[in-house]
Amino acid sequence: LDPLQPFPPLKNDNLLRAARGEEVDRVPVWVMRQAGRYLPEFQELRKHHDFFTVCRTPELACEVTMQPLRRFDLDASIIFSDILVIPQALGLTVEMHAGVGPVLPQPIETPEDLKRLTPDGALTRLTYVGDAITMMRHKLDGRVPLIGFTGAPWTLLGYMIEGGGSKTMSKAKAWLTKYPDDTKLFLNLLTDVIVDYLEMQVMAGAQMLQIFESSAEHLSKEEFLQWGAPYLRRIRDDLVDRLTKKVIPLVPLTLFAKGAGHSLKEQSELGYDVLGLDWTVDPVEARKLVGPNITLQGNLDPQDMYRDAGELRTLTTEMVHKFGKSRYIANLGHGITPQTPITSMEVLVEAVHKAL
């Protein structure tokens, strides 16, 4: 994959400008899970194709990535994929069960089970993501930037030990005290694969990357600084190091640690360009903690998308005013939920663009 392949020139670069702290002509907005279940055309496509088949088929992944852009004046696209493609590449079965979400029928239960993982060649089992990114860059024709992403080590470890999503993460948290050395081994193994994976995404044409530490909310501040932050720092440092050595232009990196509002100052010291905030964090407080040189992303409560248009417009406008026009990317504080009305997305996008 040649990162210098001739892609169409970018027409709307507000997202990248905001990430780098440059002036924007309007506040950029995109939404986590914007290509997804709230869109009838996505549901229609899913009637014919299994979830992971869509992820693994570049034409289908691109079609789904494009769907929200046909409806809304968004300032970014994000490649359609899933954070659990990494556990799959490491040899675990991941199934998507209707009404339940992801299920891993043979989870990692003891340190002995780590021997089942297949890190060698994991990247070769993820090339379909790179293929989709390259194809998508051409399909976008420079309309908006394309974001690539990955799950973070602690979050992936949680899914792999719990066997799916968990409200308590009790099995994964038990590892932290019961098998601390094996936990470090596990997290380092995941970190290595993640760095390979992100490098591949940049080579394929991703113009920005987001690292989803979606399960940070299950860690205390002390635990996050021990089991989250060091690996997040290494992802950033190793990736920058590799791209620099290959003379490949760096892309902005976003860290979204959901529920880690307790550690915003520490997150701001990890080297990321953008920090995503969930809806529990006050924008003004966040800015004080992270200082003027980091871009903030967020953070409307996804539930506010169910309010009437007038209320939603007011809340969105107030949010943008709190963050300001400089170093800000508008988004929800977590992924958009499946029953969200289409009209709410229209209101959100328009209100962000008109707010300042």
82 is a catalytic site residue: yes
Q: What is the pLDDT of residue 3?
A: 54
User: Which one from 17, 75, 137, 159 is the annotated catalytic residue?
Assistant: 159
Cβ neighbours around 107 below 10 Å, total: 18
Over residues 106-118, the mean pLDDT reads: 98
179 is a catalytic site residue: no
Q: What is the pLDDT of residues 317-343, one digit of tens each?
A: 999 999 999 999 999 999 999 999 999
328 is a catalytic site residue: no
Q: What is the pLDDT of residue 4?
A: 59
Q: What is the pLDDT of residue 6?
A: 87
Bond before 14 cis per omega within 30 degrees? no
For all residues of the chain together, what is the average pLDDT? Answer: 97
The residue with tokens 């409806």 is 71
User: Which one from 33, 137, 236, 327 is the annotated catalytic residue?
Assistant: 33
pLDDT confidence of 5, banded at 50, 70, 90?
confident
> Cα separations (Å) of 1 from 80, 306, 323?
19, 43, 38
The percentage of residues in the chain with a pLDDT greater than 90, rounded to a whole number, is 98
pLDDT confidence of 43, banded at 50, 70, 90?
very high
pLDDT confidence of 187, banded at 50, 70, 90?
very high
User: Global pTM?
Assistant: 0.98
Containing H/E element for 61? helix 58-71
Contact criterion met (CB below 8 Å) for 36 and 55: no
Q: What is the pLDDT of residues 49-82, one digit of tens each?
A: 999 999 999 999 999 999 999 999 999 999 999 9
User: What is the torsion angle, in degrees rounded to the nearest 10, for the CA atoms of residue 335, residue 341, residue 347 and residue 349?
Assistant: 30
Q: Which amino acid is at 319?
A: M
25 is a catalytic site residue: no
Q: What region, left, alpha or beta, does residue 201 occupy, with left being phi > 0 and alpha being psi -120 to 50 degrees? A: alpha
Q: What is the pLDDT of residues 135-151, one digit of tens each?
A: 999 999 999 999 999 99
User: Which one from 13, 17, 38, 46 is the annotated catalytic residue?
Assistant: 46
User: Which one from 37, 125, 143, 313 is the annotated catalytic residue?
Assistant: 37
* Nearby residues of 9 by Cβ (< 8 Å), 6 or more positions away: 142
* Secondary structure letter of residue 152 according to DSSP: -
* pLDDT beyond 70 at 1: no
Closest CA to 188 of 163, 153, 158: 153
Strand partners, 297: 276, 329
2 is a catalytic site residue: no
Residue 216, both tokens: 């940070």
pLDDT confidence of 2, banded at 50, 70, 90?
low
Over residues 273-298, the mean pLDDT reads: 98
> Cα separations (Å) of 249 from 60, 194, 199, 206, 246?
29, 19, 11, 11, 9
Over residues 269-293, the mean pLDDT reads: 98
